[in-house]
Amino acid sequence: MAFISAADELTAKGITQIENKFITKYLPVLDAQSVKVYLFALYVFQSGIKNYTVEDFARKLEMSEDDVKNCFEYLEEFELASITSRSPFEVRMLDAENVYGSPKKLKPEKYSSFASAVQSIITGRMISTNEFMEYFYLMDEYSFDQNALLMIINYCVNLKSDDIRFAYIKKVAKSFADEGITTAAKVEEKLSSYTSSTPALVRIFSTLSINRRPDPDDNALYEKWTKELGFTDEAITCAARYFKARNMQKIGEALEELYKNRKFDPKEIEDYCKARNSLYACAAEIAKSLGVYIQDASPYVDTYVSAWRDCGFDNDTLALIADYCFLQGKNSFEKMNDYVMSLYDEGVITQSAVTEKLEKVAAEDKLIKNILKHCGLTRKIIEHDRQCLKKWREWNFSDEMIFAAADAAAGKSNPVAYMNAVLSSWKTEGITSPENLPERTTSSAGGESKKAIIERHYYDLRAAAKARADKALEKAMKDPAYADIRKQLNSLSIKQAFAEVSDEQCAKQIAERISDLQARGDARLKELGISKDDFTPKYKCKICNDTGYDSQGRQCECLKRFIKANNL
């Protein structure tokens, strides 16, 4: 009977194929954990599993992510795998070159004294044959002197512990090799530089409550911060304290930001961080006032708050504006930005000026509320109401005249539009005070002037056409895909306007992008069963577009018919 056979049931099941080369050439020398990783990697690939991450891989094998990565690095050294990306971590599985033979042509016997020395240094555990093979490979692959590698191992043991894992030693050794430090003399010189910087790092670690000893990676960062960027130990500690950085990566990020902003002295760093913290506190306070949740304030500080502060608005003024924006339904940073910029354009920046502006707006809103009440309306104030009031005042009408028009509009289907028509006719006729109002214009039914009746009629026709177009657009904008296309088109149109002045090539590219988006938008509307033509107001009269007058300024036939039908 054969040494190994398979049941019939096994042959009918799914199979993961493994090259014979792997079994004959690599299996005898690979450590068990790497074999485990290699086999499962083949299974994942051959099963066609998509979107599998290193986190999923490690969880399935009940290993840490670092152990999985170390195993793939180990397999890469045997040319069984190739790490194609570190972030995200991605691996490509390779085939072996030949069926038989050792993958590493090493002669362990020539390293017997080295092996004894290594075991005498690492006393906390027994070193496996595979680990010894790795040390031998390091020397052969990177041309390390035996004494050089022993010095590195001894340094790592003193730094970590006497049961240190090989992965850390290999990492340190490879970093030395990358710098061409493979002889005993060069390693000693490198380690002496570590020793010289260690006390400074220990002091920094102690000040920041980092409870571990510095390692070579820490030293490399320290060398960069002090020699390349030019920070002193005091500045490094100051930066870590004010940025609340408690690990070397965060300290590095803080120092990079300070270097970019040319802040090196501890006093400069302190002042910079206080101002920076003030911006972050301001962003958080604004978000609270607007009712907006922000997990990370950084993008809001960079995009909005810093720009507002550069314009001259202080924190208290911005808080005041945020409260107003919330009450007006402008409850987002983007909408608040529109209002802040409008204030800036008006030159309203200081807290007193903004307070005066908002008090004036509040008074006008109170007046508008009263006007709407006279019209018989109880709805909320909208921006159109404010624009109408602004226009009526530009026409030099007093509040008394505006209320007279509101009383005349009471009971009408569209009171504000009716007021516009009435006030327009008074303006044309030169009626500027209540005592000059004809008796017929004060009646709420049939007493309005002929001109007011005509203007109101055509205003209502145009408003109805526009309302239908707006409703069609509103329906289309409820579709997220089309809404996104419209948003992109609006943004590109603005960019195109600037580009046409300064960069012809850029303007051409934007035009092509706009054309593509328009085509996509038309296709999406077709899918939704909506006609793009519906976005354009369809007027009842195609000759005058519901104005009453043709292109030559003459009375349109529809106006003549309206006058005749209403005995005007």
Cβ neighbours for 560, distance < 8 A, ≥ 6 positions apart:
none
Question: Which among 213, 210, 100 is positioned nearest to 156, based on CA atoms?
Answer: 213
User: Which DSSP state fits 489?
Assistant: H
3-class DSSP state for residue 82?
A: strand
- Encoded amino acid at 458, one letter: Y
pTM over 0.75: no
Cβ neighbours for 234, distance < 8 A, ≥ 6 positions apart:
266
CATH code of domain 14-93: 1.10.10.10
Q: Rounded distance, CA 445 to CA 167, Å? A: 94
| Ranges of each domain in the chain | 14-93, 108-182, 191-264, 273-349
Q: What is the pLDDT along the chain (568 residues), one digit of tens a residue?
A: 344 444 555 445 678 888 887 888 788 878 889 899 999 988 888 887 777 888 989 999 999 988 899 888 888 877 788 888 888 888 888 876 544 444 554 555 667 888 889 999 998 888 888 788 888 888 887 889 999 999 999 888 877 788 888 988 998 899 889 889 999 999 888 877 665 556 777 778 777 777 777 777 787 888 888 888 999 988 888 888 888 887 888 888 889 888 887 889 989 888 888 877 788 888 888 998 888 888 888 888 888 988 898 888 988 889 889 888 887 888 899 999 999 999 999 999 988 888 888 888 888 888 888 899 888 888 888 888 889 999 998 999 988 889 888 888 887 878 888 888 888 888 888 887 777 776 544 333 344 567 778 877 888 888 888 888 888 888 888 899 988 888 888 777 666 665 665 667 877 888 888 899 999 999 998 898 888 888 888 989 999 988 888 877 788 999 888 888 878 7
Residue 38, Cβ neighbours under 10 Å: how many? 23
Q: Rounded distance, CA 121 to CA 116, Å? A: 9
Q: What is the pLDDT of residue 36?
A: 93
Burial (CB count <10 Å: 0-12, 13-18, 19+), residue 567: exposed
List, as own/partner pairs, every contact residues 78-85 make where C-beta atoms lie below 8 angstroms and the sequence separation is at least 24, other chains included: 78/26, 78/30, 78/103, 78/104, 79/103, 80/22, 80/26, 80/38, 81/38, 81/41
| Count, residues in the chain | 568
Residue 535, Cβ neighbours under 10 Å: how many? 15
Q: Rounded distance, CA 288 to CA 323, Å? A: 9
Q: What is the pLDDT of residue 336?
A: 92
